[in-house]
């Protein structure tokens, strides 16, 4: 079997807004998702089967997203116009000529494949602990009891607070051992490249919103972000499950690089549309935190990932997040044009806690979090 069942006690902090199974003595079945055995199963466990109204559509139209060329300063105004147009509608665009080394991207993909090809026991050395955002997760079996995603992930923190910080490199060596030092070096370099790219994009977002181009760059200069490696194994019944369920990213900005396998879908105009892989481009989308920074002017859009029978799919996502003590609130230039305030002041750790311990991310995450902040009178 590909799914090993064990019984564990669930703490109150683990309970989500979506009810877990009602088991005697407040216990839930903890499933271990073993990708190396999944192809042996003709039927998938019920926990991975999604409701009919959420089951995937494989053959869907492609989403028309703008290509933002970052190579020329001459195109800055046009780029900001295209970004504003996309972000007021769905929040997705592609960046090309981004300056990130092709060899670094290729190396990062190669080490992603090497990690997920490891035996399950090796990957579990980095097992993600309850309430934490870093570590290895086989599906989200420790957090949810139904509508489980058909994937495994490795997430780790990146800090840009101090020059020369080796947060990522230290994580791999400390968690998985010195033999993973090269993994750490590659992903340290990759995260630094993503941080630099995200700050460049933040300048364009500022221009798109009529804000000084340095404002958001400065806000995220010392970012404390999350890097995630995703692996979506083949599935014998891809029409019944999802690689990642419909959600909006709670972070500020996501920079995604896909391999050659199609799977990313975005919900626009009441229809799912795909964004096809492009090895020369990064997919960029607005997250809930930046939606709050823009007072709702730019949209954090619902998206998901689908799986298939034939090919594994891998992707790498960099989630830009502000430094922990930064207060998330729109700049005055935006509030002068758009009032009233749509969301309360908050910090990223408050929002992260909400999504890790109290709520399963969906299209209403930001509104639900705002109500939670106001209802609980949570001070910053």
Q: Which are the catalytic amino acids? A: 313
What contacts 104, CB < 8 A, 6 or more positions away?
186, 189, 190, 193
Cβ(204)–Cβ(79) below 8 Å: yes
Q: Half-sphere exposure of 48 toward its Cβ, with a 13 Å CA cutoff? A: 29
Tokens of 141: 């079996």
* Residue 116: φ, ψ to 5°: -75, -15
Tokens of 280: 């020369």
């Amino acid at each position: 079997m590909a799914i090993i069942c064990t019984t564990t006690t669930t703490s109150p902090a683990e309970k989500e807004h979506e009810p877990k199974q009602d088991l005697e003595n407040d216990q839930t079945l903890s499933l271990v998702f073993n990708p190396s055995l999944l192809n042996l199963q003709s039927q998938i466990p019920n926990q991975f089967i999604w409701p009919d109204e959420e089951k995937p559509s494989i053959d869907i139209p492609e989403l028309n997203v703008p290509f933002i060329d970052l190579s020329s300063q001459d195109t800055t105004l046009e780029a900001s116009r295209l970004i504003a147009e996309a972000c007021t509608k769905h929040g997705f665009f592609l960046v090309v000529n981004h300056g990130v080394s092709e060899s670094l991207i290729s190396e990062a993909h190669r080490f992603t494949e090497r990690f997920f090809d490891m035996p399950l026991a090796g990957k579990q050395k980095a097992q993600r602990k309850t309430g934490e955002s870093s570590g290895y997760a086989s599906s989200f079996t420790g957090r949810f009891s139904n509508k489980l995603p058909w994937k495994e992930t490795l997430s780790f923190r990146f800090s840009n607070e101090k020059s020369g910080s080796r947060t990522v490199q230290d994580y791999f060596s400390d968690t998985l051992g010195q033999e993973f030092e090269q993994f750490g070096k590659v992903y340290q370099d990759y995260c630094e490249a993503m941080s630099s790219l995200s700050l460049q994009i933040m300048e364009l977002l500022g221009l798109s919103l009529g804000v000084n181009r340095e404002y958001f760059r400065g806000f995220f200069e010392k970012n404390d972000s999350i890097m995630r490696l995703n692996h979506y194994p083949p599935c014998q019944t891809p029409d019944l499950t999802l690689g990642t369920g419909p959600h909006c990213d709670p972070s500020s900005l996501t920079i995604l690089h896909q391999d050659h396998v199609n799977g990313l879908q975005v919900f626009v105009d009441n229809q799912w549309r795909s964004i096809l892989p492009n090895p020369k481009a990064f997919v960029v989308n607005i997250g809930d935190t930046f939606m709050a920074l823009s007072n709702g002017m730019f949209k954090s859009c619902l998206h998901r990932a689908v799986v298939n029978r034939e090919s594994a799919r891998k992707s790498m996502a960099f989630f830009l997040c502000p430094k922990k003590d930064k207060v998330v609130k729109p700049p005055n230039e935006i509030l002068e044009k758009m009032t009233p305030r749509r969301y309360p002041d908050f910090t990223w750790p408050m929002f992260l806690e909400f999504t890790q311990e109290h709520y399963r991310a969906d299209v209403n995450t930001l509104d639900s979090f705002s109500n939670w902040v106001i209802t609980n009178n949570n001070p910053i």
